[in-house]
């Protein structure tokens, strides 16, 4: 039975290598993350990508970075993060035959077998993608407080402890 909201997720064999594939010409990626299907996505952010992101999402990352707000501008807004990832990884995704919607679903959305009609965020991949974006932004703006924070922490946010751990 055809289900238009479902995406064929097995585009890469389980034993496929995780080396970057379909990378655009240019400098090598400064950060990467791996999706649940073993595809490694190389990430290099450029002023062109950031301008397109600002035009699409209304988030001016260079200004946010100067104001020390880049993590808040992305980390808590999955739709913005997915849009930035698409803009940075579009040529790779198209090489895999993915549309923007398929990219977002296959990279960051999971279906719970108990509630298949309700998608949920793949938190492990979301975290890895967020760290990759932070590292790529830190490489683009190394002399800002944000860039120094990325150099010091590797782009990993400090997780708050749950009440059970206190």
Average the pLDDT over each of 106-115, 128-137, 144-153 and give the range with the smallest value.
Answer: 106-115
pLDDT greater than 60 at residue 104: yes
* Strands of the chain, DSSP E: 31-34, 40-43, 109-112, 115-121
Each domain of the chain, given as residue ranges in start order, spans 44-156
Give pTM, 2 decimals: 0.73
pLDDT band at 7 (very low <50, low <70, confident <90, very high): very low
Average the pLDDT over each of 10-24, 38-52, 80-94 and give the range with the smallest value.
Answer: 10-24
Which residue in 27, 26, 119, 127 sits closest to 76, CA to CA?
Answer: 127
Alpha-carbon distance 98 to 46, whole Å? Answer: 22
Question: What are 30's two structure tokens?
Answer: 């400064």
pLDDT of residue 83: 92
Q: 39: which residues sit within 8 A by CB, 6+ positions away? A: 12, 18, 21, 96
């Amino acid at each position: 039975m055809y289900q238009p909201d479902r995406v064929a997720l097995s585009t890469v064999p389980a034993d496929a290598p995780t080396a970057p594939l379909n990378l655009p010409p240019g400098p090598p990626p400064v950060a990467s993350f791996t999706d649940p299907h073993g595809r490694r996505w190389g990430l290099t952010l450029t002023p062109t990508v950031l301008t397109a992101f600002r035009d699409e999402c209304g988030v001016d990352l260079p200004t946010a970075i100067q104001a020390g707000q880049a993590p808040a501008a992305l980390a808590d807004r999955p739709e913005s993060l997915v849009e930035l990832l698409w803009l940075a990884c579009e040529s790779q995704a198209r090489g895999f035959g993915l549309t923007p919607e398929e990219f977002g679903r296959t990279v960051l959305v999971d279906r719970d077998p108990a509630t298949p009609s309700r998608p949920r965020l793949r938190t492990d991949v979301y975290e890895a993608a967020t760290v990759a974006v932070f590292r790529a932004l830190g490489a683009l703006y190394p002399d800002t407080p944000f860039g120094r924070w990325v150099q010091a922490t590797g782009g990993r946010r400090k997780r708050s402890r749950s009440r059970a751990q206190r």
